[in-house]
Structure formats: structure tokens, C-alpha cells
Amino acid sequence: MSALNRLPPAIFLMGPTASGKTAVSLELTLRFPLEIVSVDSAQVFRDMDIGTAKPDRATLAQYPHHLIDLITPEESYSAARFRADALRVMGEITARGKIPLLAGGTMLYFKALREGLSDLPQANAELRRAIDAEARERGWPALHAELARLDPEAAARLKPTDAQRIQRALEVVRLTGAPLAESLARRTEAAAPYRLVEFALLPSDRAVLHARIAQRFDAMLAAGLIDEVKALRKKYRLHAGLPSMRCVGYRQVWDCLEGTIDSAALREKGIAATRQLAKRQLTWLRSWPGVEALDCLADDLVEQVARTAERKLA
């Protein structure tokens, strides 16, 4: 038996938003001894249920999920923290004689587990607040221009409006005095000690996925997404720069509540932002090595995943 085959198995179920990952993962738990681990950077936030497409309480009672509702919307969560949390939970699942099923669409988190982490400095709350204050005064394009002077390679990969990534790149440069690539090149954590069975749910027809995205966003609005954000603003001390309020959907509702866009633009921009998210996820997945790619629009998708999982887990 090879060293790889001696490792405990784990399943990655990856795909763009609206590809049906949740439905497939729930069905798989009825066929295999699995426990679901959420790989979603938005579902970690408590009280953010509608806009994150979090499973409802009845579903969670029947199909428990790990790594959701971990922090408040006032807090931040990182790939490093996800990796530590996921490895701990995966170890507990394996010890119970079950198989971890990691399902979600936050590709950076999957990458952190699969390949390990780079030697990036920990987030610095004081510096982030300072950068946010500069952005409010000067605008993110101005900070992107500053990043272009300090780290041209990092800036070239980012749009001038990509606030979250500009903030992190500037933070790293200011903390280390070196370009982001130097920190990324240094690995401090190894790959997860598991035999990975990796699935990518990809659409054979992008137009159908886009239609699903629009339907899902409309359903979120009908379910009370705007009221959810209003309640969050009352309960927590939030601002537009927080990771929670940068999440797709929440960002657009925030702008609507601030009066910078109307309800029609909220819907239009929310759907467009979700489509952009799906495009980025698909870009990650199409270059993902060793993945079993399946059509997420296939009528027998669950059967295909189950057959392939049974063969690879044997």
C-alpha cells in the first residue's frame, strides 16, 4: 500500500455559486458515512443567513454542518484560521470513523488545505483601520496607485476598486517592507494529511447557470435580504469596509440602504456581482489539478458523484 493510500480520505465538493453543491452534499451523506464541513467565507458569519444561502435550521438539524456561524459580522476570518479550524474538525470526523466532506465555493480555503499556506503576516487590525480611513479620504483607486509604486506585480493583478485585496496587499507590504510575492513564495504549512477525492461541479451551459443565479438572488430578496441587513446594522457596529459587508449581496444592499443606489440597481448589481463571483470560481476550478469535473446541470449529477466517490474511496 502506498503512503498516499494509507492516509484517511476526504472529499472536496467544489463549484461556482448556484451549481447545486448543497443539494449534492446532503444527498451524499445519505449514501456514505460523511460529515459536512462548510468551505464558505460568508457562512462563517452569524446572523447572515439569507444572503449566504446558509442551510435553514431544519436542514442543519438533520444534516449538521461544521464551520458555520463562527464569528460575528464585526470580525474577520482568514484562510489561515480556516485551515486550522478545518484540520481540527476533519481530525475529529476521522476519529469517529467517518469521512470529511468539504463543500463550498471559497477556492482560497480549498487551496490552503490542499497546498498549505504561504508565510504571510497575520492581519493587523490597527493597520487595516488606518488603510480603511485612507480609503475613505482618498478612495481605493488612489491606494491602488500607491500599491503600484510599492508592489507593481501585485497591483497589476488587482482592479483599482478591489478594496479587500488592495487592503491586504498594502498591509503585507507595509508590515514586511517587501512585495507580496516574496511572502507568498515561502511556505510554512504542508498540505493536509488526507487522501483527497476532489470534484468540480461545472456548468455545460453558462447561460443556465446565470439564470439560476438570477433566480436565487430574486429568492433572497423575496425572503427578506434587505430586512436581514437592516437587522444586522442595528445589532452590530458595522461599516462598509468590513469583510462581512463586502460579501456579494450584502455590499449591494448596504449601498441601497445608504441611498447610493435604488432597489432596481440593487437587484441588477447583486446579480452581476454574483455572476462575477461565479466567473472567478470557474477560473480557479478549470486550472485545478487532478479534479473530477462533472456537469452540474446533469439530471443524474448525484448518481455520477456517488459512483465516482464509491470507486475512489474503495
> Read out DSSP for 99-150?
EEEEEES-HHHHHHHHH--B-PPPP-HHHHHHHHHHHHHH-HHHHHHHHHHH
- How confident is the model over 78-89, as pLDDT tens digits? 888 999 999 999
Average pLDDT, the chain: 92
Distance in angstroms (rounded) separating the CA atoms of residues 120 and 236: 29
Residue 195 has pLDDT above 90, yes or no: yes
Q: In what order do the strands lie in the sheet with 292-295?
A: 65-66, 34-39, 99-104, 9-14, 195-202, 292-295
Q: Please report the pLDDT score of residue 124 as a whole number.
A: 82
Question: In 3D, which of 142, 104, 129, 144 has the Cα closest to residue 242?
Answer: 129
Distance in angstroms (rounded) separating the CA atoms of residues 94 and 9: 8
pTM score, two decimals? 0.81
Q: Return the percentage of the chain with pLDDT > 70, whole number.
A: 94
- Grid coordinates of 310: 464509491
Q: Please report the pLDDT score of residue 181 as a whole number.
A: 63
Q: Please report the pLDDT score of residue 1 as a whole number.
A: 44
Mean predicted confidence (pLDDT) in 260-283: 97
User: Which pLDDT band holds residue 207 (cuts at 50, 70, 90)?
Assistant: very high
User: Which pLDDT band holds residue 252 (cuts at 50, 70, 90)?
Assistant: very high
Lowest mean pLDDT, pick from 118-127, 164-173, 194-203, 289-298: 118-127
Q: Which of helix, strand or coil describes residue 195?
A: strand
Mean predicted confidence (pLDDT) in 207-215: 98
Distance in angstroms (rounded) separating the CA atoms of residues 249 and 237: 19
Q: Return the percentage of the chain with pLDDT > 90, whole number.
A: 76
Residue 256 has pLDDT above 90, yes or no: yes
Residue 186 has pLDDT above 70, yes or no: no
Mean predicted confidence (pLDDT) in 88-107: 97
User: Which pLDDT band holds residue 172 (cuts at 50, 70, 90)?
Assistant: confident
- How confident is the model over 141-158, as pLDDT tens digits? 999 999 999 888 888 988
Q: Please report the pLDDT score of residue 188 as a whole number.
A: 54
Question: In 3D, which of 230, 300, 249 has the Cα closest to residue 43?
Answer: 249
Residue 36 has pLDDT above 70, yes or no: yes
Residue 177 has pLDDT above 90, yes or no: no
Distance in angstroms (rounded) separating the CA atoms of residues 26 and 125: 37
Residue tagged 442551510 (cell numbers): 55
Which is more confidently placed, 168 or 50? 50
Distance in angstroms (rounded) separating the CA atoms of residues 291 and 14: 9
Distance in angstroms (rounded) separating the CA atoms of residues 39 and 79: 10
Distance in angstroms (rounded) separating the CA atoms of residues 223 and 94: 37
Residue tagged 470580525 (cell numbers): 75
Under 8 Å between Cβ of 216 and 244: no
Q: Please report the pLDDT score of residue 242 as a whole number.
A: 94
Q: 80: burial class by Cβ within 10 Å (0-12, 13-18, 19+)?
A: middle
Q: 50: burial class by Cβ within 10 Å (0-12, 13-18, 19+)?
A: buried
Query: Could you tell me the maximum CA-CA distance found in the chain, to the nearest angstrom?
Result: 63
